[in-house]
Structure 1
Amino acid sequence: MSDLVDDCIAIVICRVSAPRMMRFRAPSALVIALLGVYLVTIAMMGCNITWLVGTDSHGNRVDRRSMKTRCGCNCVGERPRKCPPGDSARDMSVAKRQTTDEISRLIDIIVREGIRRDHILEEADGKLLINIARNCSSTKDSSGEYLGIAGTESVSSVKNDSSLVLTDVMSAFQGKWKKNETLFQEMKRDLTSCCDAESSFLTKRNVRVGEILPNVLNKKLPLKMTRDMYRNLIKDWPLKHKRFNKCAVVGNSGILRGSHCGASIDSADAVFRCNLPPLGKKIYQEDAGVKSSFTTAPLSMLKSYAKMNEESVREQFLKDMEQYSGILSAKKPNNYTKYMIDSIAAARGGELQMVYEHPHHFLRTNTYWNNHGIPKKITSGIYLLSMAMTRCDEVHVYGFWPFPYDDKGDAVGYHYYEAPVFTKDSHDMPLEFMRVRRLHQDGVIQVHMRCSRDLR
């Protein structure tokens, strides 16, 4: 393959790897792929490319170009041919450089168009968020503070077009969904390269005694890995090298109520759940299912079992954990979670395994989304979605809806079960949801708001 093709490939790699590009757009991919095929073909045939540049009536160069292929002459290379009169190796080198520069210009245009489209889509999402806040703030219990968007930088500065309401948001999930395998695989590669699930837990292989780790919950209080904490760590990632066909990522929004999605969720090969949701109660099973493969366990919910050295508390903890299987992930080690790990290991064997989240993995995942349109700290939902993307061939999402009303104007609970509501936090759930919505529209993941009863 000629140096020209090598140069062009390098240009393509540099341009499409630009950090502002969230994902590779299909039209851009098609144009660059066709251009690459053309370049490879003419290089193999021993042809050269020149650009025909238009000029105006005064002889000035104008931006009107076409590409012309000239075959049968190769003045440079291992097997040079005789050049026509007036053509030298230097001329061919200059022509090659001009061609490479021109291709670079064309690819820059393609990339800029992709970035411009992202800005347009983000602005449209911002309009929706602004008008949701405007429409919901008329009620006493549905302020902008509840939505998490009042006074934040998460929305566009464009504040008109009040006709955009929740019906516009919900409309994205109606009709037939089609997977875009190209975009899915690209995002999967991006997340795997920075945030593969195999590095998500603290293990005896990826941390050592005395190591200082960042504290995701409080940056001012870093965590020192003591010998006692190290003893509780697992040896290696429990699902090493394992892949899943269909995965379900389940949020806890009240939108799950009446969704009839329980059977669809339980049909997945792996189910990722947030923040110890209730699975044992029959009133929730039809909508939320009962299966769990990976469940996050926030310290705020584990504090009720802080006196794990007492037998009654330990028994209550084990009883409450009976509804979960697979992996239970705690945010960080402390003086009572070590008793939890020992208790689960003794009572449940390999049916349930409690682990610690690796702070470096969470921070890398958080940085990934910071660079892709979510400026604040990500929620457990987005974190689990990212993990599922690196391990699964299909990702289905349920229970994501951060607004107090649905598209019909009916109230939607903060959770599908009774639980305290915490509104003052560091997350931006509406903005996160709009990113999830965009991934659904792009065919990367499939979001389910309602499911068919026929799956039962």
Structure 2
Amino acid sequence: MRGQHFFFILTVLFLGTLLTTSIWYTSNDSHLEPHRLPALKKTEKRAPSVSSDNCNDCSHVEPDKLPPQKKTEKKAPSVSSDNCNGCSKVINKVLEHYSQTWTKQEENYLKYRSQLHTRCRGSDKAILTQANTPVGSKIVYDGERKTIREVTPELFRTFVKESPFSNKTWNTCAVVGNGGILTNSNCGNTIDSTQFVIRCNLPPLENEFKAHVGSKTNIVTANPTIFINNHVEPHRLPAPKKTEKRAPSVSSDSCNDCSHVEPDKLPQKKTEEKAPSVSSDNCKGCSKVINKVLEHYSETWTKQEENYLKYRSQLHTRCRGSDRAILTQANTLVGSKIVYDGEKKKVYEVTPELFRTFVKVSPFSNKTWNTCAVVGNGGILTNSNCGNTIDSTQFVIRCNLPPLENEFKAHVGSKTDIVTANPSSYMKKYGALSGQRRPFVDNLQIYGNSMMLLPAFCVVKSTPLSLQALYTVEDFEIPIQPVLLNPEYVQSLTDLWRSQGLKEIRLSTGFIMVSLALEICTNVHLYGFWPFSNHPHGFQPLTHHYYDDEKATYFHAMPSEFKLLLQLHSQGVLRLHLGQCGEQSLHVVPWKTQKYSAFLVSSG
């Protein structure tokens, strides 16, 4: 079977490295000083694409100058004691077990490989990664079992994101020690012809050595003894190729239930943000509910740090959106069962093909953004002049593939880092992508290389529609990055907000995004969140979306999600913008707490 010897070779490497490290610990303790790990390059630290080789105890087989030997054939003859001062006994014993004619025994190989994979999991655990060793973990030294080191954020930053060996198998691997037996061996071309080459302890490969040991290298070990004795400095792993599927670097915005808050036509009058009390003349009795909203909406808004941290802590502890909001290869393995959040009795098994579409790791892990704009599509954005204000934030999330060009840009902006895409948003307009897909692709170009969030596992019928959108993006090779919403995260959010009094059967995608923003963003601003049929300033009638003529549906009742958002605004947790932004951009007002300083972002 091709490539099945990989895990055995990997184990040989680590056995050798362990022995070398143990020897070094006992002989060089007095020379070891802790030092700060090298800083990362600005590019995201990722494990290079490598094959999985290994090598033996390199500390015993790496002379700098290879000893002069006569050119020998591979088959070793029986030796006498005349040539090696009595060593013939042990060497002849070796030769008894060494067969020149070698045949792979598949059954034996699979037995060892199975044991290594089951008990050791080298493919996932051989190296420290951000996926297997989080901040705060205790690392126990394998050579000094009573000594531990806690993983600090600085140390964690140096770990690669995930193991380069996960779900990979290579066909041919060459593990190259540094023994003198390689002198005049002419093995260089043979070694370099293998798919992956691992070498030990930074050996010399140039000039007279190349013909005998080759030069191709995919992994090279570097025990500290090499640095101490030869003053060699380690180098960082190379950045991944651009073609590797990666989650884009994004900030953490969100939006409310966009289907309820995105009317098309804009109110005619230019209004100030402060909402006056309104009469019932313009909205046929809707003034009661809108005036109730205005009672809770404060023009002078101040962030309440204690309230914000309380909600953020609950979201991080109970929901873990930074790691679980989207399906990744780190949190959802092949063979996992995905439970639909809208149909609890339905499950979907993760196949290798579906697994391939997942991003490697969450783009939100260990990241925090200062300012986030979550943009709904409500008609309240018409003539709002909020475009520049929205675009001035670090990260912008939008809902359901809204139009951003031409007459809309000045009022809603164009910057996009995440855009949600419920199947309903393209099912009718683009025929569920079952026919011509070019118009859909052309319209996605305005979002650049943002993330397109697909709720593929809300209900069963959403799965093929979401995957069709994902495959369309792949087929046309456009820069937008499709990602899949994790239904397990949605369920945890539902449970949390129910405990806060929200009784929705299922949270809207937009409210889910608001929750994510509260967890990973310091200052969250909401725009276009107004579900009512009339504007709070002047009571002009509004359409449902800023880009169409559909009428708004809420007249005499306050939607429960909007009510909760209004509560969070009043408590200083997030900022809900209901008025005109004008030409001014965000004003940054410094504020401080006992633990740290930051900036409070407000609009004039």
Tell me, in whole angstroms, the C-alpha distance in 1 between the residues paired with 2:558 and 2:333.
Answer: 35
Match of 2:500 in 1: 372
Q: Is the Cα contact below 8 Å between 2:283 and 2:539 reproduced in 1?
A: no
Shift of 1:384: 0.9
2:470 is aligned with 1:341: yes
Q: 1:389: which partner in 2?
A: 518
CA 1:348 to 1:453, structure 2 compared with 1: closer, same or farther past 3 Å?
farther
Task: Quote how far apart the aligned CAs of 1:403 are.
Answer: 1.3
Give CA deviations for 1:302-332 in whole Å, capped at 9, x if unaligned.
Answer: 335566575xx23222101112141101111
Within the candidate set 397, 400, 414, 1:272 is matched to: 397
* Structure 1 residues 205 and 306: alpha-carbon distance in aligned structure 2, compared to 1, 3 A threshold: farther
2:439 maps to: 316
Separation in 1, partners of 2:349, 2:558: 31
Task: Give the superposition deviation at 1:420.
Answer: 5.7
Matching residue of 2:95: none
Query: Contact 2:307 / 2:572 at 8 angstroms: preserved in 1?
Result: yes
Letter in structure 1 aligned against 2:440: F
Structure with the largest fraction of helix:
1
Provide the rounded CA distance (Å) in 1 between the counterparts of 2:558 and 2:416. Answer: 23
Q: 1:286 to 1:379 in 2, by over 3 A?
A: same
**Aligned position for 2:293:** 169
2:442 and 2:581 mapped to 1: Cα distance?
A: 33
Structure 2 residue 533 is the aligned partner of structure 1 residue 409: no
Q: 1:309 to 1:138 in 2, by over 3 A?
A: closer
* Residues 260 and 450 in structure 1, CA contact (< 8 A), matched pair in contact too: no
Structure 1 gaps of 5+ residues are 1-131, 143-162
2:480 corresponds to: 352
1:238 Cα offset (Å): 2.8
Contact preservation (8 Å) 1:202, 1:355: yes
User: Aligned pair in 2 of structure 1 residues 401, 315: CA closer, same or farther (>3 Å)?
Assistant: same
**1:420-435 pair list within 5 angstroms:** 430-435=559-564
Between 1:382-391 and 1:166-175, the stretch displaced more is: 166-175
Match of 2:226 in 1: none
Relative to 1, partners in 2 of residues 1:306 and 1:233: Cα closer, same or farther, differing over 3 Å?
farther
Q: Which residue matches 1:286? A: 410
Give the distance between the partners of 1:239 and 1:342, measured in 2 at CA.
24
CA 1:253/1:429 → structure 2, altered by over 3 Å: closer, same or farther? farther
Q: Distance in 2 between matches of 1:171 and 1:347?
A: 50
CA spacing shift, 1:291–1:223, aligned 2, 3 Å: same
Q: 1:224 to 1:268 in 2, by over 3 A?
A: same
For 1:444, give the aligned amino acid. Answer: V
Matched, 1:229 2:381: no
Q: Distance in 1 between matches of 2:289 and 2:467?
A: 48
Rate the CA distance shift 1:239–1:448 in 2: closer, same or farther, 3 A: same
Cα offset for 1:164? Answer: 4.4
CA contact (8 A) 2:335 2:349 kept: yes
Q: Deviation string for 1:383-408 (max 9, x for gaps)? A: 11101011111001111111112333
3-state secondary structure, aligned to 1:455: coil
Native 8 Å contact 1:248 1:265 kept in 2: yes
| Structure 1 residues 321 and 359: CA distance shift in structure 2, 3 A | same
Q: Aligned runs of 1:168-187 on 2, under 5 Å?
A: 168-187=292-311
1:241 corresponds in structure 2 to: 366
Residue 358 of structure 1: how far off its partner (Å): 0.6
The residue matched to 2:340 in structure 1 has which SS?
Answer: coil
- Specify the alignment match of 2:580 in structure 1: 451
- Give the TM-score normalised by structure 1: 0.58
Secondary structure, aligned partner of 1:373: coil
Amino acid at match of 1:353: Q
Say if 1:135 and 1:451 are closer, same or farther in 2 by CA, change over 3 A: closer
1:255–1:399 contact (8 Å) kept in structure 2: yes
2:28 counterpart residue number: none
Q: In 2 relative to 1, CA 446–348 (structure 1 residues): closer, same or farther, beyond 3 Å?
A: farther
Q: What letter is aligned with 1:176?
A: T
Secondary structure, aligned partner of 1:176:
coil
Which of 320, 336, 347 is equivalent to 1:211?
Answer: 336
Check if 1:361 corresponds to 2:489.
yes
Alpha-carbon distance between aligned partners in 1 of 2:282 and 2:489, rounded to the nearest angstrom: 36
Q: Is the 8 A contact 1:345 1:353 kept in 2?
A: no
C-alpha offsets along residues 354-380 of structure 1, whole Å, 9 cap, x if unaligned? Answer: 011110011111111111121012222
Map 1:72-151 → 2, pairs under 5 A: none
Contact 2:543 2:551 in 1 (8 A): no
Evaluate the alpha carbon distance shift between residue 237 and residue 439 of structure 1 in structure 2; reply closer, same or farther with a 3 A threshold: same
Q: Could you tell me whether the CA contact under 8 Å between 1:398 and 1:447 is conserved in 2?
A: yes
Q: How far apart in 2 are the matches of 1:182 and 1:193? A: 16
Displacement after TM superposition at 1:436 (Å): 0.9
Alignment equivalent of 2:380, drawn from 255, 259, 274? 255
Question: Percent identity at matched positions?
Answer: 28
- TM-score, length basis structure 2: 0.45
| Structure 1 residue 183: Cα displacement | 1.0
Instruction: Give, as a single letter, the amino acid of the residue that structure 1 aligns with 2:491.
Output: L
Which of the residues 568, 572, 584 maps onto 1:439? 568
| Structure-1 residue corresponding to 2:424 | 300
SS of 1:453 mapped into structure 2 = coil
1:243-270 Cα offsets, whole Å, 9 max, x none, are: 2110011111111112221111111101
Q: Pick which of 332-341 and 366-375 moved more.
A: 332-341
Any idea what SS the aligned residue of 1:247 has? strand
CA displacement 1:15-53 (0-9 Å, x = unmatched):
xxxxxxxxxxxxxxxxxxxxxxxxxxxxxxxxxxxxxxx
SS at match of 1:454: coil
- Based on CA coordinates, which of the two structures has the bigger radius of gyration? 2
- Aligned-partner Cα distance in 2 for 1:200–1:447: 23
Structure 1 residues 417 and 429, CA gap change in structure 2 (3 angstroms): farther
Letter in 1 for 2:575: Q
Change (3 A) 1:193 1:136: farther
Identify which range, 216-225 or 283-292, moves more after superposition: 216-225
Counterparts of 2:468 and 2:339 in 1: how far apart (Å)? 23
Unaligned runs of 5+ in 2: 1-277, 458-462, 586-604
CA contact (8 A) 1:250 1:271 kept: yes
